């Protein structure tokens, strides 16, 4: 009798262990994510991957495309593709250092160029949620000598400020032998009072100056450098361990930080040196990896950075004062002609970058490159089509 009872207990234990294992592995393998949930984030923000059996076909197709683009079109970069919060494809192609023949790997850190602007916009929303500023505040509330007195933070965020180009000012009026910082550039704007393009809110004109001013406001309000603010409020909480802000001739070069290149005489790769505009931050000069950038997208969309209400503002088209929609939210371009696309591309000093979100497909494509690649739009279209055609999740 005792032996019979022990056998029954043993069988019950086996039954419960088996069921627990089946539930945990089936959830892990299928990887479906509720869009209203935290899209699979765990304590250390580690990325989640689909099983190889599900991604083999699409991975082979994508790998073939990027190898071809590396060979024919000089693509030297890193790409990561995620569906429903989990990674489908993650790979690198080409060289980090062409002279030393060091290849790009997952630790290679790229200048994001204008993809940096979404961090600036998010930082403004963080300060807004802390009650330290309002989107309808005028810049003069923070910089009383700012000559464009009617420009508000909202105008800067969606490129309706009409501000002149700070590039021109730095290249023609800066007389020192080092590049100006944000604070020095704000002083230059105040002292030179260059004519604006249009009155604030009247039109849409993509403006690097606007995002330089926003980063300056962030520094003034927070009492921190732009880089320290992003590190404290975004990079560290999201475990973006390879992301930072770099100011040319002001900050130390980090491990695995790439330089930009251009193809010379269709054969050699020449490094592109920094310029007088390269110590200014906010419009550019955030550095990151593709894996960190996916952590950023997941963290932003899941409420780890800002509230859902603030996120909706970032992802919505702005308006002029004449109620005309503009194709830009806060730090993101918005396209909603057919399927909505939330995205940004960047190009600066040899770096070509792209972050694409396709909400209808729950698809994210992040591509970072540093040898002046010129066809990112076409490449993104190819990647999206391949994923849609060759990646199918099993029915629940």
Domain of 127? 52-390
263 alpha carbon, distance to own chain's centre:
26
Handedness of CA 195, 200, 206, 207 (dihedral sign): positive
Give 364's strand partners.
82, 357
The tally of domains found in the chain comes to 1
Asked if 391 contacts 54 with a C-beta cutoff of 8 angstroms, the reply is yes
pLDDT at 34: 34
Closest CA to 331 of 188, 230, 254: 230
Predicted confidence (pLDDT) per residue in 159-176, tens digit: 999 999 999 999 999 999
Phi-psi region of 110 (alpha: psi -120 to 50; beta: other; left: phi over 0): beta
Give the residue, 245 or 2, on which the prediction is more confident: 245
Provide the pLDDT confidence category of residue 29 given band limits of 50, 70 and 90. Answer: very low
Indicate the DSSP class of residue 361. Answer: G
CATH number (domain holding residue 273): 3.40.710.10
pLDDT at 193: 81
In a domain, 142, yes or no: yes
Is it the case that residue 320 has pLDDT exceeding 60?
yes
- Segment 257-268 mean pLDDT: 92
Closest CA to 294 of 342, 346, 357: 357
pLDDT at 122: 98
Predicted confidence (pLDDT) per residue in 87-123, tens digit: 999 999 999 999 999 999 999 999 999 999 999 999 9
First to last CA, the chain: 44
pLDDT at 337: 80
Predicted confidence (pLDDT) per residue in 111-154, tens digit: 999 999 999 999 999 999 999 999 999 999 999 999 999 999 99
In a domain, 259, yes or no: yes
Query: Residue 387 is encoded by which pair of tokens?
Result: 């994923």
- Segment 198-219 mean pLDDT: 98
Asked if 263 contacts 269 with a C-beta cutoff of 8 angstroms, the reply is yes
- 36: three-class secondary structure by DSSP: coil
pLDDT at 40: 37
CA angle 150, 151, 152 (to 5 degrees): 115
Share of the chain above pLDDT 90, in %: 85
pLDDT at 3: 42
Asked if 350 contacts 260 with a C-beta cutoff of 8 angstroms, the reply is yes
As a whole number of angstroms, the distance between CA 15 and CA 10 comes to 9
Is it the case that residue 192 has pLDDT exceeding 80?
yes
Predicted confidence (pLDDT) per residue in 50-92, tens digit: 999 999 999 999 999 999 999 999 999 999 999 999 999 999 9
As a whole number of angstroms, the distance between CA 14 and CA 110 comes to 51
pLDDT at 36: 36
Q: Looking at the whole model, is its pTM more than 0.85? A: yes
pLDDT at 44: 55
pLDDT at 338: 78
Measured in degrees and rounded to the nearest 5, phi and psi for residue 153 equal -60, -40
User: Which residue, chain included where needed, has tokens 């990325």?
Assistant: 47
In a domain, 350, yes or no: yes
Indicate the DSSP class of residue 395. Answer: P
As a whole number of angstroms, the distance between CA 307 and CA 216 comes to 23
In a domain, 154, yes or no: yes
Q: What is the mean pLDDT of the chain?
A: 90
As a whole number of angstroms, the distance between CA 48 and CA 46 comes to 7
Burial zone of 37 (CB within 10 Å; 0-12 exposed, 13-18 middle, 19+ buried): exposed
Provide the pLDDT confidence category of residue 342 given band limits of 50, 70 and 90. Answer: very high
Asked if 349 contacts 272 with a C-beta cutoff of 8 angstroms, the reply is yes
Closest CA to 272 of 120, 116, 113, 166: 113
pLDDT at 38: 38
Is it the case that residue 276 has pLDDT exceeding 90?
yes
pLDDT at 48: 95
In a domain, 21, yes or no: no
pLDDT at 136: 98
In a domain, 273, yes or no: yes
In a domain, 148, yes or no: yes
Is it the case that residue 198 has pLDDT exceeding 80?
yes
pLDDT at 395: 76
In a domain, 59, yes or no: yes
Query: Residue 4 is encoded by which pair of tokens?
Result: 């019979």
Predicted confidence (pLDDT) per residue in 291-312, tens digit: 999 999 999 999 999 999 999 9
As a whole number of angstroms, the distance between CA 161 and CA 127 comes to 20
Kindly list the distances between the CA atom of residue 55 and the CA atoms of 50, 79, 89, 330, in Å, as whole numbers in the listed order: 7, 15, 8, 34
Predicted confidence (pLDDT) per residue in 5-28, tens digit: 344 433 333 333 333 333 333 222
Length of the chain: 396
* Cβ-count burial 85-123 (b if 16+ within 10 Å, e if not): bbbbbbbbbbbbebeeeeebeeebbbbbbbbbbbbbbbb
């Amino acid at each position: 009798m005792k032996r019979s009872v022990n056998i029954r207990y043993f069988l019950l234990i086996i039954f419960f262990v088996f069921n627990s294992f089946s539930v945990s592995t089936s959830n892990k393998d299928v990887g479906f994510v509720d869009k209203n949930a935290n899209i699979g984030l765990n304590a250390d923000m580690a990325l989640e991957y689909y099983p190889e059996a599900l991604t083999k076909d699409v991975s082979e197709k994508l790998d073939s495309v990027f190898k071809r683009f590396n060979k024919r079109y000089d693509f030297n970069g890193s790409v990561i593709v995620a569906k429903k919060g989990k990674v489908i494809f993650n790979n690198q192609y080409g060289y980090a250092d062409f002279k030393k023949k060091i290849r790009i790997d997952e630790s290679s850190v790229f200048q994001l160029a204008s993809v940096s602007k979404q961090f600036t916009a998010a930082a403004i929303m963080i300060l807004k949620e802390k009650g330290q500023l309002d989107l309808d505040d005028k810049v003069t509330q923070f910089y009383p000598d700012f000559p464009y007195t009617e420009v508000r933070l909202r105008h800067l965020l969606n490129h309706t400020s009409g501000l002149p180009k700070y590039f021109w000012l730095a290249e023609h009026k800066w007389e020192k032998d080092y590049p100006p910082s944000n604070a020095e550039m704000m002083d230059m704007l105040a002292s030179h009072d260059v004519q604006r393009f249009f009155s604030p809110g009247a039109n849409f004109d993509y403006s690097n100056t606007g995002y330089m001013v926003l980063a300056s406001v962030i520094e003034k309000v927070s009492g921190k450098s732009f880089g320290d603010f992003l590190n404290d409020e975004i990079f560290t909480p999201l475990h973006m361990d390879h992301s930072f802000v770099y100011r040319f001739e002001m900050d130390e070069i980090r491990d695995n930080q790439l330089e930009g290149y251009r193809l010379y005489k269709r054969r050699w790769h020449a490094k592109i040196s920094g310029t007088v505009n390269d110590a200014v931050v906010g419009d550019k000069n955030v550095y990151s990896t593709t894996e960190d950038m996916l952590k950023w997208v997941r963290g932003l969309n899941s409420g780890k950075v800002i509230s859902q209400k603030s996120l909706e503002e970032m992802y919505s088209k702005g308006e002029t004062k004449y109620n005309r929609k503009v194709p830009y939210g806060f730090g993101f371009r918005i396209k909603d002609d057919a399927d909505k696309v939330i995205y940004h591309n960047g190009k600066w000093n040899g770096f070509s970058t792209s972050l694409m979100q396709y909400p209808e497909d729950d698809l994210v494509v992040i591509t970072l490159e540093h040898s002046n690649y010129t066809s990112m739009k076409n490449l993104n279209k190819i990647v999206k089509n391949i994923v849609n055609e060759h990646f199918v999740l099993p029915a629940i």
